[in-house]
Structure 1
Amino acid sequence: MKVSKEVFNGATIFVGIGVYFLLMNALGFADVLYLRLLNIIFVYYGVNKTIQMNIAEGKKTFISNAISAMITSLVGVSLSVVGLIIYSYMQGGDSYVQSLSENFLFGGNPSVVTYSICLFFEGVASSVIVTLFTMLKWNNRFTTD
């Protein structure tokens, strides 16, 4: 069974983000907001790789590449949120998430589910933005319908 390029590159995004955050946590930089924002690099890499693969295969229509890029980033975001849920429960569940929320976006006492849903929506918004920027970068190589 061959895995589609969207799933493969989405999994690459997940692995990149996972290793990056685990490394930040191990080095004690998990609470630095600006370092957390650098995960966008992994999303851009995966989306850009998918578009490169599509162009190499001769797929040069804008819409099909945009859909492929969006699927790639959504797979990466979805896997990352599932990974965060699993990791959060391994680290203590709601108490771990509450320690994260002190230094991040949330106030109050979010649960693992609330935190994960919010990060999923943030990730979807980021996916749209990265997809649009990447599509603009490759725009001169696409044909119109």
Structure 2
Amino acid sequence: MSKTKIIFKHAMLITLLIGGFFFLSKLFGQENNPYLRFLNIVFVIVGIRQAVKTSIENNNETNYATNYGIAFGTSALGVLFSTIGVLIYVSLINPNFLNELNNSFLIGGNLSIYELVFTLIIEGLASSIVGSLMVMQFFKNHQSKVQVTA
């Protein structure tokens, strides 16, 4: 599987996990609970781990730098897709959600939609870097299980 396919597939996984969790929270009336946003890093780490695992298993790729690139690319694209989802949700479905986000202690202030998007991207990229480094610590000494026959 190509690196691009691995990145895109697992970025979509991250986006679906974050979006699904948001709508599940909304179903239970917890979409305004800012503490639940901390769980998004779990979804990012799951997507990163699966992307690196796929790279190792399908491509026999054990190069740290290559797999870190896949990890960061996956998480950064997942963050971008998720931020676009928030933008669509606030713009088309629930414009009042911007006020709710502005009143939370995590955002705080009176941000415009563009400032909010910028904030979410910066926050997401920071978690992408940290999450990628965390996952790569697990895989740094991983060897591909390639059988060599004489």
Tell me the TM-score normalized by structure 2.
0.87
Q: Deviations over 1:12-46 (max 9, x none)?
A: 10011001011111211122222211111111111
Calculate percent identity across the aligned residue pairs. 30
Question: Is the Cα contact below 8 Å between 2:48 and 2:132 reproduced in 1?
Answer: yes
Distance in 1 between residues matched to 2:91 and 2:122, nearest whole Å: 20
| Mapping of residues 51-90 of structure 1, within 5 Å | 51-56=52-57, 57-90=59-92
Listed as ranges, the gaps of 5+ residues in structure 1 are none
- 1:112 alignment counterpart: 113
Larger Rg: 2
- Secondary structure, aligned partner of 2:30: coil
Distance in 1, Cα, partners of 2:93 & 2:113? 11
| Cα distance in 1 for residues equivalent to 2:36 and 2:97 | 19
Q: Indicate the residue corresponding to 2:129 in structure 1.
A: 128
Cα pair 2:10 2:50 within 8 Å, conserved: yes
Mean CA deviation greater in 56-65 or 95-104: 95-104
- What letter is aligned with 1:51? V
Q: Residue by residue, what CA displacement relative to the aligned partner does 1:109-136 show, whole Å, maximum 9, x if unpaired?
A: 2111111110110000000000000000
Structure 2: segments with no counterpart, 5+ residues: 145-150
Aligned twin of 1:4: 5
CA positional deviation for 1:89: 0.8
Distance, in Å, in 2 between the alignment partners of 1:69 and 1:86 is 26
Judged with a 3 Å threshold, the aligned counterparts in structure 2 of structure 1 residues 33 and 15 are, in CA distance, closer, same or farther, namely same
SS at match of 1:141: coil
Number of equivalenced pairs: 141
Note the aligned Cα RMSD (angstroms): 1.8
Shifted more, 99-108 versus 109-118: the winner is 99-108
2:140 corresponds to:
139
2:36 counterpart of 1:35: yes
> Residues 32 and 100 of structure 2 are in contact (CA less than 8 Å); yes or no, is this contact kept in structure 1?
no
Assess, with a 3 A threshold, how the Cα gap between structure 1 residues 104 and 23 changes in structure 2: closer, same or farther: farther
SS in 2 for 1:4: helix
Q: TM-score, normalised by structure 1?
A: 0.90
Offset of 1:92 from its aligned partner? Answer: 4.4
Runs ≥4 residues deviating over 4 A: none
Aligned residue identity for 2:18: I
